[in-house]
Amino acid sequence: MKKIFPVLMVLSIFLAACGGAGQNAEPTPIPIATALPTQEVVANEAAEAVAEDTEAGTDRVSPVDGMVQVFVPAGNFRMGALDAKAEQDEMPDHQVTMPAFWMDKHEVTNAMYMLCVQDGACEPPVEFRSEQHQKYFNTDEYADFPVIYVTWGYATDYCTWAGKRLPTEAEWERAARGDDFRTFPWGDERPDGSRANFDHKINDVTRVGSFPAGASPYGILDMSGNVAEWISDFYDAGYYGLGISTNPTGPLAAKGALSQLRSIRGGSYQDVEKDIRVSNRGSARGPNPDANDMDSIEYTGEASPKIGFRCASGN
C-alpha cells in the first residue's frame, strides 16, 4: 500500500533553497532548475521539432518534472574500454553510430520524484533514509539530492510519467564520453574531490550538480560517482561481442540465471576510481514479474542507497 504524504510537501520541497550540501563536500553547487514543473503529464512538448542546427549541449526544460535536459547530437563514438583498466565486459571497444537524443542534466531528485508520487504514478522509495541520514527522502533539506532506494521498475515508471524513458547504455556512454577517447566525463585526468563524489570521500550522496568540474563534454553532470544510474538495457557481459554498431539498445533478455539483471552506469560514492570510468559496466537485479512472492526482492528487483537514475528522450 502506498504511503500517504501531505499535499503541501510538494510546495515545501520546491521552496527549499538549494538544500543542504553533503557533509564535507567542497565543490560549489550550481543552479539545477530554471522552471517549476507542472503535474500534468505531457509528451515532451519542449521538443516537438528539433532544428537541424541545434548545437550540442543546448538546454531545455522538461515540462512535467522541471528537469533541465541537454541535447546530444547524432554522430559516431567509440564505445567500450580504451584504457589499461579495461574489464572483460567492456570489450571489445567498437565504433557506434547514434541518432540525436536529449539527456537529463543531472540525476532525478527527491523533490522531482515526490511529484510523481503525489500524482499517483510512482511508488515511494523502498527506504526514506540514506547511508548517513535517517530522514532523507521526505525532507526539505535533501529535496535537491538524488532519489535513492528506487527499483528499476520505479525508475521506469517515473521516466514514463515525465514523458521520457531510461537511457540505453549506448546513449549513457555517448553522453558521458562525447566524440573522443576520454576515460572520465571530464577527460583523462584522475578523479579527485573537485570532480566527483567517489571512494567514500564523503560517505553519502551529495546534492545534484555539486561537481561542475566533472561535467561531460556536453555539460551533463554527475555521470561519475554520487549514485550509480539505472539503464534500460538488460545486462549481458558478452553483448559488445555481437558488434552492433548502430544505436544498440541492449539484448532482448539477459542470459540464464542472470536473466533479471539490468545495467547500471556511472558508479557511486562508494566506488573506487576504476569503477567510475565512462566505460565501466555494472548490474543490479531488475524486476521479475514471474516470481511467486510479490513482496520479494526477486519480484520487485533491487533498491539500493547507491543507485538512482536519470531519464532520456529521443525527441
- Cross-strand bridge partners of residue 234: 262
- The pLDDT assigned to 225 comes to 98
Alpha carbon separation from 306 to 6, 10, 179, 296 (Å, rounded): 27, 24, 28, 20
CB 218, CB 178: distance < 8 Å? yes
Q: Is the pTM of this model over 0.95?
A: no
Number of helices and strands in the chain (H, E): 5, 10
CB 314, CB 221: distance < 8 Å? no
User: From first to last of its 315 residues, what are the pLDDT tens digits of the chain?
Assistant: 434 333 333 334 333 333 333 334 444 443 444 333 333 334 444 444 566 679 999 999 999 999 999 999 999 999 999 999 999 999 999 999 999 999 999 999 999 999 999 999 999 999 999 999 999 999 999 999 999 999 999 999 999 999 999 999 999 999 999 999 999 999 999 999 999 999 999 999 999 999 999 999 999 999 999 999 999 999 999 999 999 999 999 998 766 555 789 999 999 999 999 999 999 999 999 999 888 898 899 899 999 999 999 999 999
- The pLDDT assigned to 254 comes to 63
- The pLDDT assigned to 46 comes to 44
CATH domain 1-315 topology = paralog of FGE (formylglycine-generating enzyme) (3.90.1580)
- The pLDDT assigned to 295 comes to 86
- The pLDDT assigned to 252 comes to 85
- The pLDDT assigned to 48 comes to 47
SS (H, E, C) 149-185: CCCHHHHHHHHHHCCCECCCHHHHHHHHHCCCCCCEC
- The pLDDT assigned to 289 comes to 86
Amino acid, single-letter form, for residue 71: F
- The pLDDT assigned to 41 comes to 37
Sign of CA dihedral 305, 209, 207, 44: negative
Question: In angstroms, rounded to a whole number, what is the distance separating the alpha carbons of residues 149 and 160?
Answer: 18
* Residue 72, phi then psi, degrees to nearest 5: -115, 115
* Residue 8, phi then psi, degrees to nearest 5: -70, -10
